[in-house]
């Protein structure tokens, strides 16, 4: 089945530094990927939609200058948390929708990245 | 924005019991999905529903997409210890042609007592 690989799984960084999270589609091409954030004991909230070759679309309230998204190829999207602060500590998850001539195979998620800012 | 109301928030059941959870919305969704999430992991797809009224099974799991496209339920029969986790409903908006991300319910935390 289609796999979305997300790295790193855990990262601890100092306040003020930047962190990059990668999301790769391993055996399919994803023109669109989605980035979610999940705080402890809460649901997943869509942050932005990453589009290959064009600018990302951000949800209301998400700072585009703080959460930089790059989707330079059909198999890789990256999320960079710039000048991270403790309140950015969260579980970040990427996702891709799998559409092919054979049909709609739904949304597949990465395994998530636990970011802790100290 | 669109919201999914998921109930119950948590369930404490005995092993072997059947489980039922549901989601409702005031908005219409094109696709309705049920996911399970284990601690520290991303959600894993359980069942996807595409047609209004569709009833789909996956092993001990059964889910139905409401005829109005505004609600869905998930049933788990004869629960086992590995069913423990958080279950999320998620909807893909009617518009957008697949370019929109999902809206998630708040989750149902299933706890099974031996």
Interface contacts (A, B; CB < 8 Å) = 59
SS3 A88: helix
Contact between B22 and B73 under an 8 Å Cβ cutoff? The reply is yes
* Res B99: pLDDT: 60
Enumerate the residues of chain A whose CB falls inside 8 A of the CB of residue B5.
Answer: none
Nearest of A99, A107, A113 to residue A34 by alpha carbon: A107
Candidate from A60, A106, A111 with C-beta closest to B45: A106
CA nearest A3 in B: which residue?
B44
Token code pair at residue A116? 């802790």
Share of chain A above pLDDT 70, in %: 93
Candidate from A43, A106, A114 with C-beta closest to B107: A43
The DSSP 8-state label assigned to residue A101 in this structure reads T
* pLDDT digit string, tens, across residues A60-99: 999 999 999 999 888 999 999 999 999 999 999 999 987 6
* Res A114: pLDDT: 97
Q: Which range has the worst mean pLDDT, A113-117, B33-37, B59-63, B97-101?
A: B97-101
- Answer whether residue A104 shows pLDDT above 70: no
CA-based torsion, B42, B45, B49, B54: positive or negative? negative
Residues B48, A106: C-beta atoms closer than 8 Å? yes
Residues B98, A109: C-beta atoms closer than 8 Å? no
Contact between A86 and A118 under an 8 Å Cβ cutoff? The reply is yes
Residues A111, B42: C-beta atoms closer than 8 Å? yes
Average pLDDT of span A112-116:
97
The pLDDT-based confidence of B108 (bands split at 50, 70, 90) is: very high
Mean pLDDT of chain B: 92
Q: Which range has the worst mean pLDDT, A96-105, B51-60, B62-71?
A: A96-105
Enumerate the residues of chain B whose CB falls inside 8 A of the CB of residue A106.
Answer: 31, 33, 45, 48
Q: Is A70 exposed, middle or buried (0-12, 13-18, 19+ CB in 10 A)?
A: middle
* Res B109: pLDDT: 96
- Answer whether residue B45 shows pLDDT above 60: yes
Angle CA B63–B66–B67, to nearest 5: 135
């Amino acid at each position: 089945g289609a796999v979305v690989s997300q790295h790193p799984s855990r990262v601890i960084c100092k306040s003020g530094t930047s962190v990059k999270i990668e999301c790769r589609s391993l055996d399919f091409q994803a023109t669109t990927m989605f980035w979610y954030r999940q705080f402890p004991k809460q649901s997943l909230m869509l942050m932005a939609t990453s589009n290959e070759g064009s600018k990302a679309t951000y949800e209301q309230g998400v700072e585009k200058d703080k959460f930089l998204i790059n989707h330079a190829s059909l198999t890789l999207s990256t999320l960079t948390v710039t000048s991270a602060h403790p309140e950015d500590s969260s579980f970040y998850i990427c996702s891709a929708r799998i559409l092919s001539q054979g049909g709609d195979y739904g949304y597949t998620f990465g395994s998530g990245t636990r970011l802790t800012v100290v | 924005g669109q919201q999914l109301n998921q109930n119950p928030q948590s369930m404490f059941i005995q092993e072997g019991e059947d489980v039922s959870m549901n989601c409702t919305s005031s908005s219409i969704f094109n696709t309705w999905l049920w996911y399970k999430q284990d601690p520290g992991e991303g959600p894993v797809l359980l069942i996807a529903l595409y047609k209004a009224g569709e009833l789909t099974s996956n092993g001990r799991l059964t889910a139905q997409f409401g005829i109005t496209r505004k609600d869905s339920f998930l049933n788990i029969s004869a629960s086992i210890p590995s069913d423990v986790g958080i279950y999320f409903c998620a909807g893909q908006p009617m518009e957008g042609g697949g370019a929109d991300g999902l809206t998630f319910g708040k989750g149902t935390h299933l706890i099974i007592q031996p």
